[in-house]
């Protein structure tokens, strides 16, 4: 059961997104070079059923879609990837993430919005780049695709899980020995991916807060021993939010660790919390390296999602060296 603790992993959240626009191939290549063990792909579908790597079902916070295709928004004013053919999405330029309300970039210290020339990658393009790098470097860096909003995709008439799982199979990711985790917030869908779609890849159940309305599920119940026991029926791990793992620090600045990691390990589940950002630290923390160390050492997590894979890899290597 403690197999999970033999290897601490670094998951590049949307690539090295602290340095280059998220989910661009450039950000993934950089994360690869920075020593990440897994590179994350958020997957959404185009109108012609192609999985593209994009965090939101919308295009407008990370591309110039509103100026290239004015009038192609829905009644809510948003531009949806699913309303565009891949060829159309390929004409867009990806930019650092923008807050639509303010028009400013979400992380002001990061790559300048509007600068550079980047495009939305397909899942296939990204896998081919990673597999190519694995060949040329002799490494075995993994992929970590997320099935985004499966219920919403289904309401639009599309079975995103089936399409993505088939794509993974086509690229040789088939068993739990392969360098791939499949993640999803929706527990009904995650179970379906294992039990109905026959996916034998390692599955990670993401855990949000009920207030986010990310999926029709009770994440409070999921974090109990009974809830985790049910997750372990179809998944190999959980991806909780960082505050669900470390809730703060004591007056002596020691991490206050919640019971979640131990309870998950009890069920044989690995724990990969999200998202560690040097430029968006929790209120109770002023040092990113300490936060990383608290996760790996005090909270005993098995890996973590970070926008800064170079920093996490350095701390992880130091921690492993001390063991
Ligand atoms: Ca994600």
Q: How confident is the model at residue 217 (pLDDT cuts 50, 70, 90)?
A: confident
Largest CA distance in the chain: 58
CA of 73 to the centre of ligand 1 (A): 24
DSSP 8-state class, residue 248: E
- Region 45-67: what's the mean pLDDT? 98
- Region 235-252: what's the mean pLDDT? 97
Q: Which residues contact 35 (CB under 8 A, 6 or more apart)?
A: 10, 309, 310, 313
Provide the 10 A C-beta neighbour count for residue 308.
Answer: 23
Residue 102 pLDDT > 60, yes or no?
yes
Q: Which residues contact 227 (CB under 8 A, 6 or more apart)?
A: 221
The pLDDT value given to residue 294:
98
**Assigned superfamily of 9-57+121-243+251-282+295-308:** Phosphatidylinositol (PI) phosphodiesterase (3.20.20.190)
Residue 202 pLDDT > 70, yes or no?
yes
Give me the residues paired with residue 90 across strands: none
- Region 12-27: what's the mean pLDDT? 98
From the list 240, 246, 247, the residue with the least C-alpha distance to 224 is 240
Q: How confident is the model at residue 6 (pLDDT cuts 50, 70, 90)?
A: low
Q: Is 53 exposed, middle or buried (0-12, 13-18, 19+ CB in 10 A)?
A: buried
Q: How confident is the model at residue 10 (pLDDT cuts 50, 70, 90)?
A: very high
CA of 301 to the centre of ligand 1 (A): 18
CA of 262 to the centre of ligand 1 (A): 24
Residue 215 pLDDT > 80, yes or no?
no
Residue 6, H or E segment: none
- Region 279-287: what's the mean pLDDT? 96
Average predicted confidence (pLDDT) for the chain: 96
- Region 8-32: what's the mean pLDDT? 98
Give tens-digit pLDDT for 113-135.
999 999 999 999 999 999 999 99
Residue 235 pLDDT > 50, yes or no?
yes
Q: Is residue 275 reached through a cis peptide bond, with omega within 30 degrees of 0 on the bond before it?
A: yes
Residue of 23, 55, 153, 265 with catalytic role: 55
CA of 146 to the centre of ligand 1 (A): 6
Say whether 168 sits in a helix, a strand or coil: helix
Residue 263, H or E segment: helix 260-266
CA of 115 to the centre of ligand 1 (A): 24
Domain ranges across the chain: 9-57+121-243+251-282+295-308
- Would you call 55 a catalytic residue per the annotation? yes
| Alpha-carbon dihedral 127, 129, 133, 134, rounded to 10 degrees | 10
Percent of the chain with pLDDT over 90: 95
- Would you call 73 a catalytic residue per the annotation? no
The pLDDT value given to residue 7:
84
């Amino acid at each position: 059961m403690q197999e999970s603790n033999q290897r601490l992993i670094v998951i590049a959240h949307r690539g090295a997104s602290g340095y280059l626009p998220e989910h661009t191939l450039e950000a993934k290549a950089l994360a690869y070079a920075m020593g990440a063990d897994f590179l994350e792909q958020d997957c959404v579908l185009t109108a012609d059923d192609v999985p593209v790597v994009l965090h939101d079902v919308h295009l407008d916070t990370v591309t110039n879609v509103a100026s290239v295709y004015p009038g192609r928004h829905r009644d809510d004013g948003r531009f949806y990837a699913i309303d565009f053919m891949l060829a159309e999405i390929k004409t867009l330029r990806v930019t650092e993430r923008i807050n639509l309300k303010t028009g400013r970039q979400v992380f002001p210290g990061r790559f300048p919005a509007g600068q550079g020339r980047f495009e939305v990658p397909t899942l296939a393009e990204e896998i081919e780049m990673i597999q190519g790098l694995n060949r040329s470097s002799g490494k075995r860096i993994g992929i970590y695709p997320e099935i985004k909003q499966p219920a919403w995709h289904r309401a639009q008439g599309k079975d995103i899980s089936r399409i993505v799982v088939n794509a993974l199979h086509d690229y040789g990711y088939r068993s739990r020995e392969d360098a791939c985790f499949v993640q999803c917030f929706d527990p009904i869908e995650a179970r379906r991916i294992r039990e109905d779609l026959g996916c034998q890849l390692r599955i990670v159940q993401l855990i949000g807060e009920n207030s986010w309305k990310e999926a029709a599920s009770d994440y409070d119940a999921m974090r109990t021993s009974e809830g985790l026991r049910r997750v372990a029926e179809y998944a190999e791990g959980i991806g909780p939010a960082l505050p669900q793992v470390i809730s703060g620090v004591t007056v002596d600045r020691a991490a206050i660790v919640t019971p979640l990691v131990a309870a998950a390990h009890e069920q044989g589940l690995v724990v990969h919390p999200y998202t560690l950002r040097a430029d968006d630290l929790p209120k109770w923390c002023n040092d990113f390296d300490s936060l990383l160390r608290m996760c790996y050492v005090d909270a005993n997590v098995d890996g973590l999602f970070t926008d800064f894979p170079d920093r996490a890899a350095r701390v992880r290597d130091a921690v492993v060296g001390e063991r």
